[in-house]
Amino acid sequence: MTLGWQEIVELLRLDLLSYLLLAVLLGGGIGLQRELRGKAAGLRTNILICVGAALFTQMSQTMAVLVGDPTRIAAQIVTGVGFLGAGAILHGKGYVSGLTSAATIWLVAAIGMAVGTGALYEASGAALLVILVLGVLGKFESYLRTRQEISRVELELAPDPNLVVEVEEIVTGAGLGIEEMRSEKQRDKIVVSVTMKGPKRLQDKAKRGLIQICNTFTITEDE
């Protein structure tokens, strides 16, 4: 008995293989851009996420014949990717890094799910847009960072350690980064020196908040 091409495709699941190969290409395109930028979630990570999301989505549709709900497995992809994204985010004193990598992981999973459902044009278009955003806007973002100002302010606070914590919260809450922060207790006061980095508009906002909690406010350096 000679098998036709259609029977061979169905037997070997060549349609699924083609979907997975496309997921490799799309996830690899995004992952290559991240790899060239020296990010932890690089080429292999994004490929695996995209292929995994596509395969899970395809399997959910296949299993729906028996289970009846093709969205159950697909919904869990979002939860699982959320854990991966959370692991890519790093918190430090005055800064948060890894948000772009976490968002990229989330988007690559969405692209993989689109491939798994057969929305190949939509997945390809989304991958292209992601690469453009990461590449072109990344350079523009770097240019904006070079225009950020650095200023150092010195505050005299009441002898309450909670006020030092409040100073940090005011600066970071205004959207600024803290380059350096020092505090020293002097008799009946605490002297805090903070070096802030960010746009002038946000620095002015932070300074207005700092003035309200300190006894003396001095801008010792403004570049």
Structural tokens at position 175 = 């959207």
* Domain that includes residue 204, residue range: 149-222
Using an 8 Å Cβ cutoff, are 183 and 159 in contact? no
**0.85 exceeded by pTM:** no
For residues 58 and 49, give the distance between their C-alpha atoms in angstroms, rounded to a whole number: 14
Tell whether 126 and 53 lie within a shared domain. yes
pLDDT of 24? 92
Q: Bridge-partner residues for 219, per DSSP?
A: 153
CATH assignment at residue 172: 3.30.70.260
Tell whether 26 and 41 lie within a shared domain. yes
Tell whether 168 and 126 lie within a shared domain. no
Compute CA 222 distance to the chain's CA centroid, rounded to the nearest angstrom: 31
pLDDT of 221? 46
Tell whether 13 and 93 lie within a shared domain. yes
Q: In terms of Cα–Cα distance, which of 103, 123, 99 is closest to 111?
A: 123
Tell whether 127 and 28 lie within a shared domain. yes
Contacts 24+ apart (CB under 8 A), 202-207: 202/174, 202/175, 202/176, 203/149, 203/151, 203/174, 203/176, 205/174, 206/170, 206/171, 206/173, 206/174, 206/176, 207/153
Q: Of 96, 125, 145, which residue sits at a domain end?
A: 145
pLDDT of 78? 78
pLDDT of 7? 56
Total domains in the chain come to 2
Q: Of 127, 145, 163, which residue sits at a domain end?
A: 145
Residues of the chain predicted below pLDDT 50: 1, 93-94, 221-223
Q: Of 111, 145, 179, which residue sits at a domain end?
A: 145
pLDDT of 25? 93
